Structure 1
Amino acid sequence: MTVDKELITAQALAEALDLSVETIWRYTRENKIPCVELGSRQYRYKLDDVINALRGDVRENFAPYDTKPTKKLTYQDYLVIPEEPGYRYEILDGMLIREPSPNVVHQRVSRRLQRILEDYFWGVDYEGEIFDAPLDVTLLDYNVVQPDIFYVSGEQPQIVKDARIDGAPELVVEILSPSSRRKDRLQKMQIYKQAEVHHYWLVDPQERTLECFAWHDGVYSLVASGMDEDIVEHPNFAGLAIKLQSLWSNIK
């Protein structure tokens, strides 16, 4: 299929109009602006056509240049967000967060750590499961996250639904990237703490570090950490020893 060169993405349209991407998607869902559907949840726009639409009926009923969401977003809002190649989305505290898809280094480290965790938990919790992104996890009322790796224990079957995990996993692992470092260390840590995720790990391929936090009485404490070629042993998971060198080998 030949794609019109004048067609632009929702992100490009939002930047051109000084709007939020969420506003563009809201207008799209409500058929307030014209769009071209290229595939399932993939939309493109002609800037001139959109501007003309905003000068008409939309202008009478909405404030098209209001970049703040009118309400906190929920999982139901998340389900109708159009997909955009090269990006993934989460809802944190009711706000839509957009970031680039993971790169090769991220995926290599994720795959290696996931294999280690699968081998370990298979031996100590046969009914538990290790999952990885992209799989939605809904926490509290206004959070939809896609942790890089997470473990649902055999005592938590009630949170495993057909299309998502609805509740706090026992363990969540986030692998940091330049675009996610601040979000994972601050905003998501607060969300996981409030949701009572018992174990939260941060892996930093750039710094070659692993930090393991454990939840107790409403706060996270650092209970294990390591860097470079250290072997990290976790006090709450007897017999688990992670050789960090196995995560970093052959990555730049």
Structure 2
Amino acid sequence: MTLPARPRRHATAADLLAIPEAERFHEIIDGDLVPKATPSWSHGRAQARMTARVSDPYDRPPGRRGPGGWWFVTEVEIALEPNQIYRPDIAGWRRERLAAPPTELPVRARPDWVCEVLSPSNASNDTVKKLRTYHRSQVPHTWILDPLHETLTILRWTEGGYLLVAAGGRGDRVRGEPFEAIELDVSELFGDEDEAGEPEKDDT
């Protein structure tokens, strides 16, 4: 006699939060508790560069220096569905939708923009599984940074699926919605020091 298979138990927010904070670099993807890849130098560099580029003009109330109007965070748990709790590499919310930083964990407010930085070991999670959830949750803008191939892909939500609105590689400059006020040098996102000037002279 064959016994019926036990129903699969999906991981929950409680399972995720039970992991000590210092060790909690995990996501719940399709009900499975999945560790995030250990960031490489190129991954961490791309994440830091992109965060700096969008935060400087946008992460403040509107009407001050730069366009403003956004909140940004890195590596914060966001619950989009009961079995989908992610830690996007960077996430942003329009301040007109989110008047103050949320205090709950995981965050329940749907972001207006996410940026995922790919790692070879889990790229399919970011480009397939998580992208499907972002679409179901109607995240308006999703960007994908690929340090291996040094590319930036910019996607816009539409009812039928995400629409590719811009893409660039090394040597390209891109203005991508919703941050059209800034021009991004794709090479600089992956570590080129294009802003470096001439070495200082030693007058001694």
- Give 1:132 shift: 0.4
Alpha-carbon distance, 1:226 to partner = 0.3
Deviations 1:91-141 (A, max 9, x none): 012111123321222111111110000023142234x211001x1111122
Distance in 2 between residues matched to 1:82 and 1:89, nearest whole Å: 11
Measured after TM superposition, the shift of residue 79 of structure 1 is 1.4
Give the structure 1 partner of residue 67 of structure 2: 124
Contact 2:74–2:90, Cα closer than 8 Å, also in 1? yes
The secondary structure found in structure 2 opposite 1:165 is: coil
After TM superposition, give the deviation of residue 218 of structure 1 in Å.
4.7
The two structures, once aligned, show a CA RMSD in angstroms of: 2.4
Q: Which residue of 2 aligns with 1:167?
A: 109
Change (3 A) 1:71 1:245: same
What's the offset of the Cα at 1:155?
Answer: 2.0
Unaligned runs of 5+ in 1: 1-65
Shift of 1:83: 6.6
Give the gaps of 5 or more residues in structure 2: 60-65, 194-204
- Residue 25 of structure 2 aligns to a residue whose secondary structure is strand
How many residues are paired up?
182
Correspondence for 1:112 among 14, 31, 49: 49
CA distance in 2, matches of 1:69, 1:104: 41
Separation in 2, partners of 1:238, 1:244: 14
Structure ranking higher on relative contact order (CA contacts 8 Å, 6+ apart): 2
The one-letter code matched in structure 1 to 2:45 is: R
Higher relative helix content = 1
Q: What is the CA distance between 1:227 and its match in structure 2?
A: 0.3
- Between 149-158 and 173-182, report the one with greater CA deviation: 149-158
Offset at residue 215 of structure 1 (A): 0.3
Q: Could you tell me which amino acid in structure 1 is paired with residue 139 of structure 2?
A: V
Q: Residues 25-70 of structure 1: CA distance to partner in whole angstroms, max 9, x if unpaired?
A: xxxxxxxxxxxxxxxxxxxxxxxxxxxxxxxxxxxxxxxxx9x873
Displacement of 1:195: 0.9
Residues 43 and 119, structure 2, Cα contact 8 Å, conserved in 1? yes
* 1:51-62 to 2 correspondences below 5 Å: none
With normalisation by structure 1, the TM-score equals 0.65
Q: Deviations over 1:190-221 (max 9, x none)?
A: 01111111101110011010000000225210
- Calculate the TM-score normalised by the size of structure 2: 0.80
The 1:69/1:110 distance shift into structure 2, 3 A limit, reads farther
